[in-house]
């Protein structure tokens, strides 16, 4: 997952944006490492089998994709401050197409550790690329910033109406899953293409497009002529209001999520049920919960400047580079661990899993998974720092695509 879609020149960089982006990028790696290294691959959101620690390990990563997509919208707006409307439209369309191609050709095989190109996954980079493509088309058609934000808000607030319409004939088609009704990285989402190819729809496009369109309009607050104190105040109250909406609608199961919360045998599991909102496709309450917190972080870090924040900003300034590298590093460690723990080439293929190097009995407990996470983010520090410095001192055209 990455918001490194529209790099800004140094004088326009907003440190709080890089800070938040860096934070969620590091958190994001936890989930991908858990998927690859967790023994038995338990479902962390199944309240019948999960533990509070495992649930929270998954829950905290819920903030990553909304932050990436929302910040991509803000970055798109800031990119438009140094381009004409037509130039921005063309740039976003080209960049959206590029990101979709990267998802299919570089990221999907890395996730599967299989470069036969018989299976493809449409995940967060597809959602960012597709949303950027739609945003570019809207800008090219002359849509105003306010109109774009209004459309995004309508999509976000209204798409959960589809939960009550039971449009199975549409939702079960490839187009329906791509646009409305993905249900996450499960085998039931595998859609055959021809006799020996398949695609896994993980991120439904339109709800995420709503997030990006709202983020684009939110970018107005980050223009250079906006008073930072005023921006900080607006962002803080927007975050508080968004979270208040989440708690009110979630508490009474009014609207905005297809899975209502319910009382569980213990208080802790009732709390987990309350926060167990739907990511696939991203529900209104899921987006409200996550983006509300992200807005508060943006407000709180507006003027934060210390050693820790500078490290996060370093990661956050090269998110697309980090995203690509982290997948290949995770899978390299995955393969090395596979052989180092005694598994053989005969066990590379698991008939019960679409992923290679994941036999029954492979992996670590939750603590071991966190150890791998620390190793990954530490190893990525030096290449990310090098690339960050390289971007600051070079102006090649291809740098805007990585």
Q: In angstroms, what CA-CA distances link 254 with 52, 188, 234, 259?
A: 26, 29, 27, 11
Q: How far is CA 213 from the centre of its chain?
A: 15
The confidence score (pLDDT) of residue 376 equals 97
For the CA atoms of 139, 140, 144, 149, what is the dihedral angle to 10 degrees?
A: -30
Residue 69's SS3 state is: helix
Domain boundaries, the chain: 10-401
Q: Per residue, what are the HEC states of 316-351?
A: HCCHHHHHHHHHHHHHHHHHHHHHHCCCCHHHCCCC
Burial level of 263, CB count in 10 A (0-12/13-18/19+)? exposed
Structural contact between residues 190 and 198, judged by C-beta atoms closer than 8 angstroms: yes
Q: What integer pLDDT is reported at residue 190 of this predicted model?
A: 67
Give backbone dihedrals phi and psi of 308, rounded to 5 degrees, phi first. Answer: -65, -45
Q: In what helix (H) or strand (E) does residue 21 lie, and over which residues does it extend? A: helix 15-37
Within 8 A by CB and 6+ apart from 286, the residues are 62, 66, 257, 277, 278, 279
395 is written with which tokens? 């102006």
How confident is the prediction along the chain (402 residues), in pLDDT tens digits per residue? 444 445 444 445 678 999 999 999 999 999 999 999 998 889 999 999 999 999 999 999 999 999 999 999 999 999 999 899 999 999 999 999 999 999 999 999 888 888 888 778 889 999 999 999 999 999 999 999 999 999 999 999 998 887 777 665 566 666 666 777 665 554 446 677 777 778 888 898 999 999 999 999 999 999 989 999 999 999 999 999 999 999 999 999 999 999 999 999 999 999 999 999 999 889 999 999 999 999 999 999 988 888 888 999 999 999 999 999 999 999 999 999 999 999 999 999 888 777 889 898 999 999 999 999 999 999 999 999 999 999 888 877 777 777
CA distances from 35 to 130, 281, 369 (A): 25, 19, 9
State the pLDDT at residue 8.
46
CA distances from residue 189 to 57, 103, 170, 212, 266 in whole angstroms, order as listed: 24, 17, 14, 24, 33
Helical packing angle, 307-316 and 366-393, nearest 10°: 80
> Looking at residue 183, what is its pLDDT?
55
Q: Which residue has the tokens 């709503």?
A: 210
| Predicted pLDDT of residue 4 | 44
Q: Kindly state the tokens that stand for 345.
A: 């080439």
For residue 393, the model assigns a pLDDT of 86
């Amino acid at each position: 997952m990455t918001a490194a879609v529209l790099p800004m020149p140094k004088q326009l960089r907003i440190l709080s944006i890089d800070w938040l982006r860096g934070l969620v990028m590091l958190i994001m790696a936890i989930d991908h490492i858990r998927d690859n290294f967790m023994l038995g691959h338990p479902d962390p959101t199944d309240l019948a089998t999960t533990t509070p620690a495992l649930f929270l390990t998954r829950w905290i990563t819920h903030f990553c994709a909304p932050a990436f997509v929302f910040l991509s919208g803000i970055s798109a707006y800031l990119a438009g401050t140094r381009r004409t409307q037509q130039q921005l439209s063309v740039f976003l369309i080209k960049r959206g197409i590029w990101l979709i191609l990267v998802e299919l050709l570089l990221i999907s095989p890395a996730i599967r550790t299989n470069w036969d190109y018989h299976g493809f996954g449409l995940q967060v980079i597809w959602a960012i690329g597709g949303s950027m493509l739609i945003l570019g088309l809207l800008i090219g058609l002359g849509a105003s910033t306010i109109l774009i934000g209004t459309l995004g808000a309508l999509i976000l607030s209204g798409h959960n109406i589809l939960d009550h319409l039971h449009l199975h004939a549409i939702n079960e088609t490839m187009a329906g899953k791509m646009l409305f009704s993905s249900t996450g990285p499960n085998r039931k989402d595998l859609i055959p293409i021809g006799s020996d190819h398949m695609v896994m729809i993980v991120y439904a496009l339109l709800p995420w497009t709503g997030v990006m369109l709202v983020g684009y309009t939110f970018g107005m607050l980050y223009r250079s002529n906006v008073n930072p104190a005023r921006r900080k105040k607006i962002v803080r109250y927007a975050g508080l209001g968004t979270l208040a909406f989440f708690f009110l609608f979630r508490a009474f199961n009014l609207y905005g999520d297809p899975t209502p919360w319910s009382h569980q045998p213990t208080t802790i599991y009732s709390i987990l049920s309350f926060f167990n909102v739907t990511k696939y496709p991203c529900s209104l309450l899921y987006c409200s919960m996550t983006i509300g917190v992200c807005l508060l972080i943006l407000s709180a870090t507006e003027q934060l400047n210390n050693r820790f924040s500078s490290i996060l900003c370093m990661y956050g300034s090269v998110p697309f580079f980090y995203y690509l590298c982290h997948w290949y590093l995770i899978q390299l460690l995955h393969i090395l661990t596979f052989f180092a723990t005694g598994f053989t080439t005969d066990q590379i293929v698991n008939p019960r899993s679409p992923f290679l190097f994941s036999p029954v009995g492979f992996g670590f407990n939750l603590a071991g998974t966190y150890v791998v996470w620390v190793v990954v983010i530490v190893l990525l520090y030096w290449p990310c720092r090098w690339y960050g410095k390289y971007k600051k001192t070079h102006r090649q055209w291809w740098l805007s695509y990585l």
